[in-house]
Amino acid sequence: MSDSPVLKYISAGAWSLVEPLISQRAKTLLSTLIEFMENDVLPSEKLFHAQIPTDSPEARWASVPPILEELKDKAKQKGLWNLWLSGGDFQGMAGGQGGGLSNLEYAVMAETMGHSAILAPQATNCSAPDTGNMEVLARYGTSKQKDKYLVPLLKGEIRSSFAMTEYGVASSDATNIRNTTALPSSNSGKLIVKGHKWWITGAGDPRNAIHIVLAMTDPQNPSPHKRHSLVLVEPRLQGVKVVRPLTVFGYDDAPEGHCEVVYDGVEIDVESGVVGGRAGLGKGFEIIQARLGPGRLHHCMRTIGIASRALDILLQRVSDPNRKTFGKYLREHGTVIADIAHSRAEIDSARLLVLAAARRIDIAGAKGAMQDIGIAKFTVPSMALKVIDRAMQVHGAEGISQDTPLAYYYASLRTLRYADGPDEVHIQQIGKNELKRVEKLNQKSAKINKESDKLLRENGKVKAKL
């Protein structure tokens, strides 16, 4: 174990807990992934950024950096493809085209990929929002929808968007989604999609071939959870308008982007255009709940890797002999040492939460793991932001500039406190779940009190201090 390359990435303690649950095949794949990261992905990051045009705003959205396609080819050859696609029935639904790993095995892989979160997930076809969208199509799509959209997504030939958040609507409460409708046209019987979404990741990408859109299809249904369906809208269709890319602290994330999108009377067929065909009408909520569980955890897995990389960058900076202050290396100042120790402890604690949630998905499915996923969802991004903030601080002003990757890490991870549901919504749910334990706690206390009063009486005592 001591010479395992994974120990450069995760703590020996965490590895010793999970190693017995990791198959030999996954261990071999992990070693291959680490080699791929160090020999191919990390050295390509600067070129990737350099290949995104800076001359005109339009050019930024017109092409994809060629290095990415080269890395995708290499990843496929090495078997590092669709690693996120877990085993079991899901493999069958996806035509056996995935990695077939357990969620726990994938957690270790995804953390490793987080060391190059901009490139590694895309290079291995493991990036959001495609992974969640492939999952939706694999689980709920008709066979024609799978052939048309799932197969090219699995091959990495196209990209996709998931369009839920609405302009002007508080979308963290999904029952609010109302400005996008897909209602039958009186003359053709087709559904006409109308709506205004924003923050739609990937909608700017020239490879994008499908938007999965949450739309109201039955506004009068008495159950607010049966009013919506997921509809499939191809961005090439008449009526789809990508209005503008939004920026995150000034970053536009070209060529993928997070875009404002208007659907202005787009015509779709019920059987081919509703996820699951006619049988999928009214199932929007059910499907989005299933989609978001593992996806939220995938973000957390990668985030641990990003935080670890920020700590690595911090360690190097504070050990740089050219950066001494007051006659000392930065690492010799007590506050810096404390920052390092806190960062190490926080990353290692957060990793355990993520690994536990991944293991829980393997045992109890995404629904059974909701509590563990929810806790990871609202704790891991904030932990990583703290670590990155410390790393930026030791760099002085340079830390918030474009000359280190730290500012971009900070911007992109800050978005995870909203994306897939803001922290507060998860915090509220976990708090409510905890409160459900009170009745049993009261019963347990009553039983213990009864026994302790009996013990006091038997020993001739009436009162005790606690």
| Residue number, 90 or 418, with CB nearest to ligand FAD | 418
Q: Interface mask (CB under 6 A) for ligand FAD, residues 256-295, using x and -?
A: --x-------------------------------------
DSSP result, 56-85: -HHHHTT---HHHHHHHHHHHHTT-SSTTS
Q: What three-state secondary structure class fits 325?
A: strand
Select the span of 7-15, 84-92, 417-425, 455-463 touching ligand FAD (CB under 6 A): 417-425
The CB density around residue 277, as the number of other CB atoms within 10 Å, is 18
DSSP result, 375-402: HHHHHHHHHHHHHHHHHHHHTGGGGGST
Q: Which DSSP state fits 367?
A: H
Minimum Å gap between C-beta 17 and ligand FAD is 32
- Does 201 bind ligand FAD (CB under 6 A)? Our answer is yes
Q: What three-state secondary structure class fits 189?
A: coil
- Does 422 bind ligand FAD (CB under 6 A)? Our answer is yes
| Residue number, 108 or 118, with CB nearest to ligand FAD | 118
| Residue number, 140 or 162, with CB nearest to ligand FAD | 162
Select the span of 49-57, 131-139, 143-151, 412-420 touching ligand FAD (CB under 6 A): 412-420
The CB density around residue 454, as the number of other CB atoms within 10 Å, is 10
What are the two backbone dihedrals, phi and then psi, of residue 23, each rounded to the nearest 5 degrees?
-70, 160
Minimum Å gap between C-beta 69 and ligand FAD is 23
Applying the rule CB under 6 A, the residues between 225 and 254 that interact with ligand FAD are 248
- Does 428 bind ligand FAD (CB under 6 A)? Our answer is yes
For residue 327, give Cα distances in angstroms to 148, 315, 321, 340: 65, 18, 10, 20
Minimum Å gap between C-beta 428 and ligand FAD is 5
Applying the rule CB under 6 A, the residues between 153 and 172 that interact with ligand FAD are 162-165, 170-172
| Residue number, 82 or 201, with CB nearest to ligand FAD | 201
Query: How many residues contact ligand FAD, by CB under 6 A?
Result: 22
Nearest in space to 233 (alpha carbons), one of 253, 263, 211, 207: 211
Rounded to whole angstroms, the Cα distance separating 210 from 424 reads 31
- Does 424 bind ligand FAD (CB under 6 A)? Our answer is yes
Residues binding ligand FAD (CB under 6 A): 129, 162-165, 170-172, 199-201, 248, 258, 415, 418-422, 424-425, 428
